[in-house]
Homo-oligomer: A and B are copies of this chain.
Amino acid sequence: MEKATRQHTKAHNQRLVLNKIYHTPKISRAGVARMTGLTRSTVSENVSELILEGLVAEIGHGKSAGGKPPILLDVVDDARQIIGIDLASGEFRGAIVNLRGAIQHRINLPVENRSGEMAFELVFNIIDQLVAKADTPLLGIGIGTPGLIDAGSGVVQNAVNLDWQNLPVADILKEHYLLPIFIANDSQLSALAEYNFGESHRVPNLMLIKIGRGVGAGVILNQQLHYGDGFGAGEIGHIKVEENGELCRCGNYGCLETRLSSRYIRWKAKELALKNNDSLLNQFAATQKEITNEDVLKAYQGGDPCVQNIVKEVGTRLGKALTYLVSFLDINRIVIAGSVSMFGDGLINPAIQELKAGTLSALSNNLEVHVSSLGEDIVILGSAGMVLQNELGIF
């Protein structure tokens, strides 16, 4: 509840005007004034500046309400480009996106077990290639990565998969590229992607569960990404769910991600195939060959009962975790992302069943659980959304 200084007010008003135009295509200056409560002259002044910066354009005339027909405004979607980077999967993925999250150029580089400095070199490499492809001014670079990331200072506190500790990623890249740099946890950014560009566009409260090699979550509360007191919000992968469970890569036993991850599904599929001659995965049982996510999906779609049971078990486990989160926060919109979301309803239906059995009906009656439609681009888009919010105040 801070009232800002005059300089702040000016910047705040310009963001307010841009945000309104962004979310209300074909709005007039008078419409912006009405919706923001700013005076006509303040709006006109701000719109002029935004047109000068190329961010907003006049796109024609609306219907007259008696007098002069109003001039309609819109954001110029391609006025700026944003680089979004996803360091969360087996390959580093990067893309150039426009102000509406449309992907315009894409580069994927295999990580091949690089970590530490080698992995950082690869980040430079992918950004170099993307910067070279940019053909309008870059608004900034956003990066998503698993781990504990201080999104405020841009420091990676701990990213186990990359072997980065207390690494001031934003500062290092800022010095090199002379561009605004933002970095945050990949699951948190996935929630932002869904809020900005997904089917849950501007849903004020939503939770996203990203299930891939590990499991993480992101949560939008009151239209804002919630980072938590130590930027660790959504780190649900290491909740202990079994007293004498499997060894987790974190060193503890029985963590949620030992039961809710693509790793677990592949491991369990192979184990069951060993005991079951009917399994479509039986070919892998006696070999050293690794089962891939695609192998498991094919067996699942082929009706393999072993795999179908595993997916159901994993969905139930997801539902059990959600009973706590839904009961505590009463959030109706739940989005599932990550590679394990490929099982769709096979995963979601047992989760919903478990949720409904394990919470008050008043909390579960209005639930909407669905798979994100953003697919593999979700972290890239979330990274771009973070730049959009920080640099232009669009959220």
Contacts and interface: CB of A to CB of B under 8 A. Distances in A.
Given A205-B229, A323-B239, A363-B232, A3 B219 contact: no
A309 interface: no
A330 B222 contact: no
**Quick one: which of A321, A327, A332 has the most chain B CB within 10 A?**
A327
B230 A330 contact: yes
Contacts of A13: 3
A240 B205 contact: no
Contacts of A239: 323-324, 327, 358-359
Interface size grouping (class) on chain A: 35 or more
A189 to B, nearest CB: 15
A330 B37 contact: no
A25 B274 CA distance: 73
A331 to B, nearest CB: 6
A330 B8 contact: no
A16 interface: yes
B366 A230 contact: yes
B238 A359 contact: yes
A286 interface: no
B8 A37 contact: yes
Contact of A3 (B16, B207, B224, B330): B16
A363 B157 CA distance: 12
A4 interface: yes
Interface in A36-78: 36-38
A19 B324 CA distance: 35
Interface string A217-251: 10101101011111111111011100000000010
A232 B360 contact: yes
A132 interface: no
B224 A327 contact: no
Interface in A333-368: 333, 357-360, 362-363, 366
A238 B328 contact: no
A148 interface: yes
A224 B221 CA distance: 11
A5 B37 CA distance: 5
Interface string A149-185: 0000000011000000000000000000000000000
Contact of A330 (B16, B228, B332): B228
A232 to B, nearest CB: 4
A327 B222 contact: no
Interface of A: 1-5, 8-9, 13, 15-16, 19, 36-38, 148, 157-158, 205, 207, 217, 219, 221-222, 224, 226-236, 238-240, 250, 252, 321, 323-325, 327-333, 357-360, 362-363, 366, 393, 395
27 contacts: A1-B19, A1-B393, A1-B395, A3-B13, A5-B37, A8-B37, A158-B362, A207-B328, A219-B329, A228-B329, A228-B331, A229-B331, A229-B333, A230-B363, A232-B362, A234-B330, A235-B327, A235-B330, A236-B327, A236-B328, A238-B359, A250-B360, A252-B357, A324-B324, A324-B325, A325-B325, A328-B328
